[in-house]
Amino acid sequence: MILRACAWLLLSTGLAFGAERHFDFSSPKAGALPEGWTPELAGGGRPGEWKVVEVEMPSALEPLSPQARPLNRKPALAQTAPSAEDERFPMLIHTAERYGDFTFTARFRIEGGAFEQIAGLVFRHQDPKNFYVVRASALGGNLRFYKFVDGERSAPIGPAVPFRKGEWYELSVRAEGNQIEVFLNGTNALPTLTDNSFNAGHIGFITKSDTTAVFSDAGIRFRPLETLAASLVRQTLEQQSRLLDLRLYGPSGPGGALRCLAAKNPADVGREPSGETVRKVLLENQVYYGKTPQAAVVTAPLHDRNGDVVGVMEFHLKPFAGQIESTTVARVLPTLKKLESGITGTRGLTD
């Protein structure tokens, strides 16, 4: 048990992830799932039935004395509806948040199944037809990674591993960029995988066919995802040393009010434009030029790849020799065009 606790520490500190979340599976309402978790079904057949149960499981830490209670009672998430369809994959997805780079760890126990005894983790989930999976099979005696793309399941990858029904195992997935690593009970279980299908998505649990299983002690260390707006501002500031300030405005929140979506100064995010210039630029699709005592200000429409106006960029530039309106705007436009090449629409700025 000490090895498991140390393995979680090694996995979660191996990457410079700045946030951590441990999932509480207790439910405030009897029969309800924890907030943020949504049942889904991949393939076909009868939907799964997910519920919160109390389970006894070994502690993740070595007992301090022989008299210490070896088991702890904890809430767990259980898939309890067996059904024999072959390509039936009940899933429970944490839809409250998306993750890009992370280490996701959970403990699981396969309870039963006559045709299949399979349980595992879903990650970078887009929808019921597009996601990654790593799962254990007690009947098949193997650990497998595969992916669903447009509903088609890839060829599985993974070794023979003797799993047993009724025993607890710890499974971890570490994803960074297009690199994926899988760990079983803290030990690397697969060669590092490289896949470019999905770069971010939801996490969750999965079973197959008539499998019943429980999941507990789930947690994730992750690098918070940037919105596209935040990424565009950060990249521009890194490339343009003469920028004193930079703000990106776009529709946000109920009613699509015009607000700052990203900025050099984080305190500006969420604020409405201080004057009418930003609104005029959005409405007229025209570049405006102005000056303050400290900087030249270029306020320009931001387009998506189809040429539609989706936001406004406000550039504050340091003074330079020969600075006039035409030369200042000329310095900004190439950067703007480069940014626009990666924008697919208004919603894409905040996704």
3-class secondary structure per residue, the chain = CHHHHHHHHHHHHCCCCCEEEECCCCCCCCCCCCCCEEEEEEECCCCCCEEEEEEEEECCCCCCCCCCCCEEEEEEEEECCCCCCCCEEEEEEEEEEEECEEEEEEEEEEEECCCCCEEEEEEEEEECCEEEEEEEECCCCEEEEEEEECCEECCCECCECCCCCCCEEEEEEEEECCEEEEEECCEECCCCEECCCCCCEEEEEEECCCCEEEEEEEEEEEECCCCHHHHHHHHHHHHCCCEEEEEEEEEECHHHEEEEEEECCHHHCCCCCCCCHHHHHHHHCCCEEEECCCCEEEEEEEECCCCCEEEEEEEEECCCCCCCHHHHHHHHHHHHHHHHCCCCCCHHHCC
pLDDT tens per residue, range 90-140: 999 999 888 999 999 999 999 999 999 999 999 999 999 999 999 999 999
- 204 and 284 co-located in one domain: no
| Claim to verify: residue 137 and residue 31 sit in the same structural domain | yes
Asked if residue 200 and residue 82 are part of one domain, the reply reads yes
Q: Say how many domains are in the chain.
A: 2
Residue 2's pLDDT is: 28
- Average per-residue pLDDT for the chain: 88
- Flag whether pLDDT at 316 surpasses 90: yes
Query: Do 196 and 72 belong to one domain?
Result: yes
Is the pLDDT assigned to residue 247 strictly greater than 90?
yes
* Residue 256 pLDDT: 78
Residue 210 has pLDDT above 90, yes or no: yes
Residue 8 pLDDT grade (very low, low, confident, very high; cuts 50, 70, 90)? very low
Do 251 and 119 belong to one domain? no
CATH of the domain at 295: 3.30.450.40
Give the pLDDT confidence of 55-71 residue by residue, as tens digits.
988 775 555 555 555 57
Domain boundary, last residue among 172, 198, 223:
223
The pLDDT-based confidence of 315 (bands split at 50, 70, 90) is: very high
Give per-residue pLDDT as tens, 320-342: 887 889 989 998 899 888 888 77
Q: Which of 223, 242, 259 is the last residue of a domain?
A: 223
Query: pTM for this one?
Result: 0.65
Specify whether 95 is located in the same domain as 207: yes
Domain that holds residue 335: 228-349
Quick one: pLDDT band at residue 351, thresholds 50, 70, 90?
A: low
Label the pairing between strands 257-263 and 193-194: unpaired
Residue, of 27 and 323, whose pLDDT is higher = 323
Q: Is the pLDDT of residue 11 over 60?
A: no
Q: Taking a C-beta distance cutoff of 8 angstroms, is the pair 75, 52 a contact? A: yes
CA 241/CA 288 separation, integer angstroms:
22
Percentage of the residues of the chain whose pLDDT score is greater than 90: 64
Spatial neighbors of 2 by CB under 8 A, at least 6 apart, are 61, 62
Q: CATH number of the domain that 26 lies in?
A: 2.60.120.560
| Boundary residue ending a domain (223, 244, 275) | 223
